[in-house]
């Protein structure tokens, strides 16, 4: 460590020690105030929109099918979302603390919500690509389950302002309901408002998603009575609002069978 002599010839106090002493002299309240002004690497999420995939959104049918007879449906299949602060939003200490103590908010590291190292425009493009991939998988899963020829039956899915893959399960169920209902002339929904979330693979496997607890709040807010949840997310969904029935699923077949049983008053699994 290098020291410099003072003007009166006495050795000066080391610089690093001087800085430490100066910092220790700052009141704790002032340090908290500085921390409160600094942006933190967290996103704050809340319940987002739910959209009925059996209906229209922004003037256009969410699911359009050609090449096969399409049923007139009743009831609703509402895909649930969360709404997170923008990737470049600067959430500060007060925002994060508020989110931690509210049941209708969730605080999550930004890199678990958004791909890291990308601009806002690149993240939006990434989310749109995820949605497109999810729609393709949902169509393949539904037509495969129904044993329909994808070269003859064409499905178009359109849902603006929503990104990511977590609508896959509800897209597949919507296609099944429009083409086959409950398999016996009735509605897959049984006339109910059904909400849910979950990714889906082309083989019909349902995968976990984020923000399940918040999505269940969105479902209850929009008057759904049933919430379909990936079985792997059951532990995260158990804080769902009272009066919302949670049904765990692992495949598209599971989901269809559970909804058929529900419509008939049969036994249905629960989280």
Residue 215 among the catalytic residues: yes
Q: Using a CB cutoff of 8 Å and minimum separation of 24, what contacts does 238-242 make?
A: 238/271, 239/103, 239/213, 240/213, 240/216, 241/216, 241/217
Residue 231 among the catalytic residues: no
Residue of 148, 178, 215, 220 marked catalytic: 215
Give the residues across from 66 on adjacent strands: 154
Residue of 134, 166, 216, 258 marked catalytic: 166
Q: Residues with catalytic annotation?
A: 166, 215
């Amino acid at each position: 460590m290098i020291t410099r002599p003072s003007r009166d010839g006495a050795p000066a106090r080391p610089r690093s020690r001087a800085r430490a002493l100066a910092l220790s002299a700052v009141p704790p309240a002032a340090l908290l105030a500085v921390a409160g002004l600094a942006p933190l690497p967290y996103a704050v999420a809340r319940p987002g929109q739910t959209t009925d995939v059996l209906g229209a959104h922004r003037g256009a049918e969410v699911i359009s099918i050609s090449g096969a007879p399409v049923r007139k449906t009743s009831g609703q299949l509402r895909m649930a979302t969360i709404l997170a602060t923008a990737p470049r939003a600067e959430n500060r200490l007060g925002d994060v603390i508020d989110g931690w103590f509210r049941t209708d908010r969730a605080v999550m590291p930004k890199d678990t919500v958004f791909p890291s190292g990308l601009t806002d425009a690149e993240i939006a493009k990434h989310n749109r690509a995820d949605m497109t991939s999810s729609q393709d998988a949902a169509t393949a899963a539904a037509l495969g389950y129904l044993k329909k020829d994808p070269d003859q039956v064409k499905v178009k899915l359109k849902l603006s302002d929503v990104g990511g893959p977590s609508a896959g399960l509800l897209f597949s169920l919507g296609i099944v309901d429009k083409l086959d209902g409950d398999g016996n002339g009735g509605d897959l929904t049984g006339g109910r408002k059904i909400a849910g979330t979950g990714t889906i693979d082309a083989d019909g496997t349902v995968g976990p998603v984020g923000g399940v607890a918040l999505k269940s709040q969105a479902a209850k807010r929009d008057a759904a009575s049933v919430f379909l949840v990936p079985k792997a997310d059951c532990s995260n969904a158990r804080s769902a609002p009272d009066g919302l029935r949670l049904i765990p699923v692992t495949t598209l077949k599971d989901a269809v069978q559970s909804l058929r049983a529900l419509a008939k008053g049969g036994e249905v699994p629960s989280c």
